[in-house]
Structure 1
């Protein structure tokens, strides 16, 4: 028998990125939701995590958030779902989360439960073969179609799962699901669709819950919210005592990141939010109706993300207080670049200067008012093929800020630029090489799904 409603708690907009706030989580858990769901990754963090196959979140924070969800969901005997494991959703990150779940089960002596997990990694050879056979792999965000050259530049690639592996895992009786790279919305839409609720409400539910308390006001991250789906509407309720889900906060969140804020695309269709109606249901809850889901005809298209290594990177930091140097900082940077080029005429490198405090505001933004900062902070990024070269280029580029030969400067008078004498090693630099959609006949074909039972460990 189809349920009349389903309640899903979203405790964190990015599991592990910063710790989940426990007070609002326990308030949510006390209401006995039907599912505990959380997204744990994003391409917003940049290409380095995927390229380097690493997390950008602290292990302890990841474990903290997984532990909260696991213990609450096992106590209630309801499913727990986490997508895009470990920030980038690669196989190693999925395995990391599965191992954490097993360790927690042992530590807390949990009764047996089924854990399903899937991998999203895509072999670049496979992508090259699809191009060779004539498959058009269309670019997103104004990119050209994927080429063999793009694939050759790619260090690592993942497919972005929709609802399909999650629904399949639920059909197999999974109690805990750890997903590889996934659509943020799919983590929440999948259980709603599995339970028989309309796609238009399920996908909107995913859209509004993916960032947790970002859909509430006043602004506050890492607080829990609960989404309630029926066959007629979606409601979203803030759990933190100081927050409310208002018409403005919910509508604003639903539309904030789209080039066309009224449409959201998924693997098999499109969510049309043009005619959404927002109502203040109660003091902490907003009700949403009017959204539509439009299926896309033909093959399913799965988004592929790929990252390629640019080079090793070092970072230098410089501070400038001299008014004359600040006034001519663009010339100082140009002179510094010229000195590096003169020292490394045949070396392949990238050198970037980020100026903070210029014109009274941060970075390269337009000035808010016509004032001159009393101090600039300059971050120098040097990238080259080896660590040794990257360090040398960054050191040279940073120190040349101090040695820049400006006109009208007599001796060392006024050249009050102070620098960090040693530059700092950084994670290697990566760039996005693939942001494309791949047509597939079977939406499960790119995802390897596994399921096993975690047995209770008997205390000795």
Structure 2
């Protein structure tokens, strides 16, 4: 405790989603940062990985990124913090990362160190009891309060942790922390708050570091950046030789993704960036001062993310070059839909068409009046409760593009759809069922922290 400055390296905006670039990482590691921190998950990947309890990222890439960080952090004797393990932060993904760390320690003969981990999954019955007792599970982003029907339709739920389980683990003496689902900024903010820095600086540090080199120019992902903080400011520096952190790149990154670009809601309050001052500190560094943190008093609320199973899913592709067919593509799709409905009038299924190249853009839903596109790609997806039905509706929906009955077509003169002759089974379909908050008595209530020793 009592550091005048704190330096945190962020090597990757989403650990393992694509491999960390080693060059800039080693440049940053050579400066001996105080913490190695990285976020490893996001709901940007959609509801499928959470529902299926699997990764969206390749395991070798995740192993690679964890190994880079672990070896550097253990060599230098400083903490390493990972949030949202394995993309979703489910219990199995946390266990996977713990096993990877254990394997790396054995592989490299690392001396004993303390590894803390916490889970984030929430039992549906925990929420059901609260709801039956009259508690509201409040919706976010215009969602209504959670209903029992929505809860029943949910396959898997994770709670989104704030800084609290990480701080608890650091207080327990953890050298490495593997976290379940976590608010991105809190992975970094927890280290700063633990070290005694004010919340406004800590949370801004998390916001600017969470996506690593996305706050740099020119654009280049998976490069390392370092945040250097005092009680009064944050300085963020690009490690890649070709990048720098500028007023424009850092301010732009801080303000993206939100309806109100100046506010970021984090655990326990709101980060207010409306009065932030940005200045160019040196060629590769931007300095930020005057972020504000507005604490939210009273009830402690934790965000919940839930994913529910929709059905088995298949995909087919159709390519079209005939100008007349392109001009009448909406009628073609209507015909294909009608043929599926004719064969399966009472079956429950979903059939979707995504058109690439229509009006020069992807997925334009307006009818074509005039187009310069010379070819279209139609992606057909069918979803149903079982594989057999899902496969058939997709196959019919794809092949009937070729058989569409358009006016003015004589014989086969106008048909010109190239159809791949098979459809492919892809991941099951899931939907977001839960974007809500639950009230808790203790911010650690849903995030039990465990500690083990690893190494020789």
State the TM bucket, normalised to the shorter chain.
over 0.9
Deviates more, 1:303-312 or 1:371-380: 371-380
Show the counterpart of 2:44.
Answer: 44
Report the 3-state secondary structure (helix = DSSP H, G, I; strand = E; otherwise coil) of the residue aligned with 1:430. strand
> Does the 8 Å contact 1:139/1:145 carry over to 2?
yes
What is the deviation of 1:361?
Answer: 2.2
What is the deviation of 1:414?
Answer: 2.0
> Does the 8 Å contact 1:18/1:57 carry over to 2?
yes
Show the counterpart of 2:107.
Answer: 107
Show the counterpart of 2:263.
Answer: 263
CA distance in 2, matches of 1:138, 1:265: 16
Show the counterpart of 2:24.
Answer: 24
Report the 3-state secondary structure (helix = DSSP H, G, I; strand = E; otherwise coil) of the residue aligned with 2:200. helix
CA shift digits 1:138-160 (9 cap, x unpaired):
11110001111110010000000
Show the counterpart of 2:406.
Answer: 406
**1:7 has 2:12 as partner:** no
Show the counterpart of 2:321.
Answer: 321
> Does the 8 Å contact 1:267/1:303 carry over to 2?
no
What is the deviation of 1:229?
Answer: 1.1
CA shift digits 1:11-69 (9 cap, x unpaired):
00000000000000000000000000000000000000000000010010000000000
Show the counterpart of 1:180.
Answer: 180
CA distance in 2, matches of 1:225, 1:370: 48
CA shift digits 1:120-177 (9 cap, x unpaired):
0000111111111111111111000111111001000000000000000000000000
Show the counterpart of 2:348.
Answer: 348
Show the counterpart of 2:337.
Answer: 337
What is the deviation of 1:366?
Answer: 7.9
**1:231 has 2:203 as partner:** no
CA distance in 1, matches of 2:75, 2:446: 33
What is the deviation of 1:370?
Answer: 6.3
- The answer for unaligned runs of 5 or more in structure 2 is none
Report the 3-state secondary structure (helix = DSSP H, G, I; strand = E; otherwise coil) of the residue aligned with 1:103. helix
**1:94 has 2:94 as partner:** yes
Show the counterpart of 2:201.
Answer: 201
What is the deviation of 1:387?
Answer: 0.9
> Does the 8 Å contact 2:102/2:455 carry over to 1?
no
CA distance in 2, matches of 1:375, 1:334: 19
Show the counterpart of 2:302.
Answer: 302
CA distance in 1, matches of 2:448, 2:310: 29
**1:140 has 2:150 as partner:** no
> Does the 8 Å contact 2:116/2:174 carry over to 1?
yes
What is the deviation of 1:439?
Answer: 1.1
Report the 3-state secondary structure (helix = DSSP H, G, I; strand = E; otherwise coil) of the residue aligned with 1:401. coil
CA distance in 2, matches of 1:129, 1:335: 48
What is the deviation of 1:267?
Answer: 2.2
Show the counterpart of 1:378.
Answer: 378
CA distance in 1, matches of 2:281, 2:386: 59
Report the 3-state secondary structure (helix = DSSP H, G, I; strand = E; otherwise coil) of the residue aligned with 1:286. strand
Show the counterpart of 2:282.
Answer: 282
CA shift digits 1:389-425 (9 cap, x unpaired):
1111100100011011001111111211011111010
CA distance in 2, matches of 1:186, 1:81: 10
CA shift digits 1:201-229 (9 cap, x unpaired):
00000000000000000001000000111
CA distance in 1, matches of 2:35, 2:284: 20
Show the counterpart of 1:450.
Answer: 450
What is the deviation of 1:362?
Answer: 2.4
Count of matched residue pairs: 456
**1:169 has 2:169 as partner:** yes
What is the deviation of 1:455?
Answer: 2.8
What is the deviation of 1:95?
Answer: 0.3
- The answer for unaligned runs of 5 or more in structure 1 is none
Q: Give the TM-score taking structure 2 as reference length.
A: 0.98
CA distance in 1, matches of 2:131, 2:235: 44
Report the 3-state secondary structure (helix = DSSP H, G, I; strand = E; otherwise coil) of the residue aligned with 2:86. strand
Report the 3-state secondary structure (helix = DSSP H, G, I; strand = E; otherwise coil) of the residue aligned with 2:314. strand
> Does the 8 Å contact 2:159/2:446 carry over to 1?
yes
